[in-house]
Chain A
Amino acid sequence: MKPFWLTVLLLWGYSFALFAQNVNGVVLDDETGQSIPFANISLTSGQLITQADSLGRFSFTGMPAQIVCSFPGFEPTILKVSDTGKILRCALRSTIWSVDITGEKHKFALPLSTNTLHVRDLVGAPTILEADIFRSLRLIPGVKQSSDFSSGLYIRGGSPDQTLILLDGATVFNPSHFFGFFSAFNPEAISAVTLHKGSAPASLGGRMGSVLSIESKEGGKSETSVSLGLLSFKGSTTGKYNRLHWMIGGRVSTLNPVLNLLSDFNTDIPEKLGFRDLNMRLKLAISPRTSLHFTHFTSEDALNMSLLNGLGLDLWYKNALQVAEARTVYQKGKLIRLRLMQSKYHGKPVGTLGDTGAKRDSRVHEAGAELSWTWEQPNAAWEAGLKTTQTDMVWRDWFAGIDAELLNHSGRHLLGYLQRNRNFPYGLGVQWGIRTTRTADRNFYSEPRLVIQKVQGAWQHEVAYNHSHQWLALVSNEAFSGFDAWLLLPENRPPSTTQQFSIGTKYRPDKQLELQFDAYYRKMARIFTLDPFLADLGNKPYAELLVWGEGEAKGLEIQGRAKANERLQWNATYVLSQTTRRFDALNDGLPFQPRYNRLHDFTVNANFDLSKKWQIGAFFTWASGQPYTRPTGYAQLPNPFGTTFNNIGGTVWFSPALNNAALPAYHRLDLNISKTGLSRWGFSKKWTCSLFNVYNNRNIWYYTYDIQKTGPERVSIRQLPFIPNLSFHAIF
């Protein structure tokens, strides 16, 4: 009997060992080589085994003969599992606009001015203190930030309000934390980011410039990750219950305990400086073809600071949005989507000085509904939709006991869009679209869009044109977003408008190398903003508070991406660009270069896997100095009514033109080193050491002028020094 039982035990043990073996793999986009986060891994019977993590990696215990890797927008791929020692590579082919013409596989490639980034690209790049989506977008040519202190996006010569920022389809009005320092989006809760620098599909619009579309992580896989850094504690958890997939992510700043400690020694330390945000995404699969989705997002920032003798600051702002969406595929390739959304922004900065003070109350509420229809045919696609939105804006200022309501307006829009993507023989592809908006004053505004592509071998050539309108404007300071307030176009005025032409080419001989060249020209008209010289805002007619102007932007963008081997990847960009603005009320009505203009902009980013556990990343940037106003003379013209603390009278500066000079060139090197591994308690862990501005180059932010006895003294206000950071990330 003993040999029998021994044999049974051995066989049982062998089978246990066999089934207990770990199968490891990664899901990749066959076209780009980029990982596909949260792809489904299932048996051929359809039973879900697991889901890939945010880096596209998956692991499970067992030994099925075959697995199926799938992800929306990609063709499912069946993979044989024969050798558990090897890391499986599941390469998925995109089905978006995928067509089969003359026996060859053709595809309507993404327009050259559209970049899709997965979370791995965004969080892997070195940045200050912690991973930030907006700061990582700097890797895309044409995307600039105004300073180390700001994460505001200046894309192709457009100001931040010209970029529409969407989270799961709803607008986010103040997408920043720490009053502009970081973006409000928790990378732990985001799956992918798509940036349309131009040539956005007809379904997207309402702004003159770009569209940044951010997608929340979808739940499904049971996973919890937490991360602790010097700036924040953040985490997310995903899972599913029956047909309900859920994701909850949150972030809270970790500075307050430190500030509380420091405030005992220094009265200039804020009593409160913090932020928090919450992301939630639910998906209910009613049937294989129909699903309901719900997104909730809030972000909140606060600063409280008391200074000497009644001088105090109390700043606060909050975003909140909800999106509910129903999708159904009613026939093969035909999708109907109904989306309801609302988004709110509320900013309330308060400053007190003795018995006087200033307070602002700025609110935006946008609500809308959208019904869209998509039909993907073998060789083409249609997309059409109807959307209605209502935007309510309120802006009230109190100053010295005086209550001024600048704005209390609503804008209602009804719009329809239609887009056609069509591939023709010989690699020719055409994407055209039209978006027409009917405003509350019964005017119609149309925005045509066109992309023509020629894909031939390793080459993709493209010409594109798009026309966009904008009905609102942001009043902000690039150094500080805590006073941000929005303006709505006055009634019976035509909207601001942009026409953008671009031409580009991409050369991609293989998966290891990609070179891209884009040239663009943008013409902006009827730009409006708050009159920067308004003495006070007191109860003047709204239209009188605004100034109108025009602008122009042109540039050449060059990007090279290469994968030297499995361990080293790099990305380099060079941009030559120029943007100008012209307002009758500014600079004697002559064109000037705004602060965010940068003639040359060069970046290089490299990632190297030192070993299976150690990775190193480097980011270097060099850019022309930003424009600033260099005075060529000054005079003392004292206030004839006495001493003042409101900049009335005193030193007056003169210069030939606004922003007539350039700061010294900006350059900086960031590094990060990370180590991944498995903890003794079974969870994945990652230590990251980030070194911002490694060689401590104190780039100049701006100059200010102090009056000394010997004359004015130019003082350089510098940007951030070398800042190290250590963070810990765990995935359960």
Chain B
Amino acid sequence: MRFFDTILLWCLMLGFTVVLGCDFTAPSETRLPLVEAYLQAEAPFPPVSVRETLFVHEAAFPATYVPPKAQVKIYLLDKNGQIEETILYALSSEAPDSYLPIDSLKTVLPSRQYRIEVRLLEQDKMITGETIVPDALRLVNTNGKTFRYEQSPSYQATISPCKKEQETKCHYIFSAESLDARKDTVVPFWKPGSNPFNLDETPHVYSSPLFNEDNYEKDASGNTVINMLWISITHFGRTRVNLHNIDQNMVDFYRSQSQQQQQFGRFGPGEMPNAITHLVGGVGVFGSYSTLTNVIEVHP
């Protein structure tokens, strides 16, 4: 083969491969139906938000779109998955995307399974999801009610064994809500302008990331001993310390959503996985939790 024939052949192959390699096309923006509801064990049924996702160029507030009209029902299921009771919802007069239970006194039962059904009336679409409400935790004992800031040990709560509703671990989120939140009671760590988050205003509620139960020591009775971190205390004075035992839907949603914009997380920069929602026909969260609450007092 002569030299120029060879060059021609290579050019042809090059041209062929370039033609073969077509790149991405830009994805188009779409609205997805979104449902948001969090059932708390032993508390009245919560509002259910029914709306749609926003376009990336839209502002969240004030909403520039009209939420879809919907029919919302929550079913209590028996052990066989059959409907035992229906909780009906109606559109709130205060918010166009919020639906409230008609019977506002009815409470969520722990360790029971609920199903949500949201029918979008104008779109003939159905969004469904299920949750198993975590068992209510009991406080066995604590190491006190009054604490000096950053003393060791910090507030310790011994809680009853977590009853597993599914074949997974129990997961907790802690939150601390200051009941005496004022500018003059802010703890040094959270001082505006010098806190590591560069916040101009100190939050009065702090919430932790997810922790699974196996992170903590258990005593001989199977009770779990949990230490409060001082970082969660934002103000001196009274603080309501909450331990939330959350269901698998919330665990999956938060563990996936928290990876969406972490440049140094487990995905590469710019890689944004979808949150795991466990909803059929839409996105959002239909989750449940139980909460154990105690009030402590923190002094400087």
Chain A: residues with CB nearer than 8 A to chain B? Answer: 146, 307-311, 353-356, 400-402, 404, 475, 477-480, 483, 507, 509, 515, 517, 530, 532-536, 538-540, 556, 558, 560, 574, 576, 586-588, 594-595, 599-600, 624-637, 639-649, 652-656, 658-663, 701-705, 707-712, 714, 717
Given A308-B194, A401-B227, A535-B210, CB of A654 within 8 Å of CB of B283: yes
A649, B264: Cα distance in complex, Å: 19
Q: When the two chains form their complex, are residues B10 and A633 in contact, meaning their CB atoms are under 8 A apart?
A: no
Q: When the two chains form their complex, are residues B21 and A600 in contact, meaning their CB atoms are under 8 A apart?
A: yes
**Interface range, B side:** 35 or more
Given A532-B267, A658-B274, CB of A635 within 8 Å of CB of B209: no
A533, B251: Cα distance in complex, Å: 10
A574, B15: Cα distance in complex, Å: 11
Q: Flag the segment in B119-127, B139-147, B170-178 that touches A.
A: B170-178
Q: When the two chains form their complex, are residues B271 and A659 in contact, meaning their CB atoms are under 8 A apart?
A: yes
Q: When the two chains form their complex, are residues A633 and B56 in contact, meaning their CB atoms are under 8 A apart?
A: yes
Q: When the two chains form their complex, are residues A574 and B274 in contact, meaning their CB atoms are under 8 A apart?
A: no
Chain A residues with Cβ below 8 Å from B195 are 308-309
User: Residue B273 contacts which of A308, A587, A642 (CB distance < 8 angstroms)?
Assistant: A587
Q: When the two chains form their complex, are residues A641 and B173 in contact, meaning their CB atoms are under 8 A apart?
A: yes
A93, B208: Cα distance in complex, Å: 68
Chain A residues with Cβ below 8 Å from B184 are none
Given contacts A402-B211, A645-B197, A711-B59, 20 further A-B contacts (CB under 8 A): A309-B195, A478-B268, A515-B6, A532-B273, A535-B209, A536-B209, A536-B215, A538-B214, A558-B14, A558-B17, A560-B10, A595-B271, A633-B56, A635-B60, A635-B283, A647-B260, A648-B209, A648-B210, A652-B275, A702-B263
Q: For chain B, residues 192 to 225, give those with C-beta under 8 angstroms from any C-beta of chain A.
A: 194-198, 203, 205-212, 214-216
Q: For chain B, residues 19 to 50, give those with C-beta under 8 angstroms from any C-beta of chain A.
A: 20-21, 23-24, 26-32, 34, 36, 38
Given A308-B196, A627-B24, CB of A702 within 8 Å of CB of B207: no
Given A647-B260, A649-B254, CB of A540 within 8 Å of CB of B273: no
Q: Among B13, B154, B216, B266, which residue has the most Cβ atoms of chain A within 10 A?
A: B266
Given A309-B196, A353-B196, A556-B17, CB of A629 within 8 Å of CB of B273: yes
Question: Is residue B244 within 8 Å, beta carbon to beta carbon, of the partner chain?
Answer: yes
Q: When the two chains form their complex, are residues A404 and B215 in contact, meaning their CB atoms are under 8 A apart?
A: yes
A595, B229: Cα distance in complex, Å: 37
A47, B211: Cα distance in complex, Å: 71
Q: When the two chains form their complex, are residues B231 and A354 in contact, meaning their CB atoms are under 8 A apart?
A: yes
User: Residue B23 contacts which of A478, A599, A628, A644 (CB distance < 8 angstroms)?
Assistant: A599
Chain B residues with Cβ below 8 Å from A515 are 6, 10
Given A477-B266, A538-B211, A574-B17, CB of A517 within 8 Å of CB of B28: no
In the complex, residue of chain A having the shortest beta-carbon distance to the beta carbon of B230: A355
Q: When the two chains form their complex, are residues A628 and B17 in contact, meaning their CB atoms are under 8 A apart?
A: no
Question: Is residue B279 within 8 Å, beta carbon to beta carbon, of the partner chain?
Answer: no
In the complex, residue of chain B having the shortest beta-carbon distance to the beta carbon of A644: B207
Q: When the two chains form their complex, are residues B258 and A661 in contact, meaning their CB atoms are under 8 A apart?
A: no
Question: Is residue B300 within 8 Å, beta carbon to beta carbon, of the partner chain?
Answer: no
A625, B23: Cα distance in complex, Å: 9
Question: Is residue B166 within 8 Å, beta carbon to beta carbon, of the partner chain?
Answer: no
User: Residue A636 contacts which of B28, B60, B203, B244 (CB distance < 8 angstroms)?
Assistant: B60
Q: Among B198, B206, B252, B270, which residue has the most Cβ atoms of chain A within 10 A?
A: B270
Q: Which 9 A-B pairs have the closest CB atoms?
A: A642-B205, A702-B270, A633-B53, A538-B215, A311-B196, A628-B270, A629-B272, A646-B209, A535-B210
Question: Is residue B81 within 8 Å, beta carbon to beta carbon, of the partner chain?
Answer: no
Question: Is residue B269 within 8 Å, beta carbon to beta carbon, of the partner chain?
Answer: yes
A714, B51: Cα distance in complex, Å: 24
A-B contact pairs, 22 of them (CB 8 A): A477-B264, A509-B3, A533-B255, A533-B266, A536-B212, A538-B214, A539-B215, A624-B21, A631-B272, A637-B285, A641-B207, A647-B262, A648-B258, A649-B254, A652-B260, A654-B32, A655-B272, A663-B270, A702-B268, A702-B270, A714-B56, A717-B263
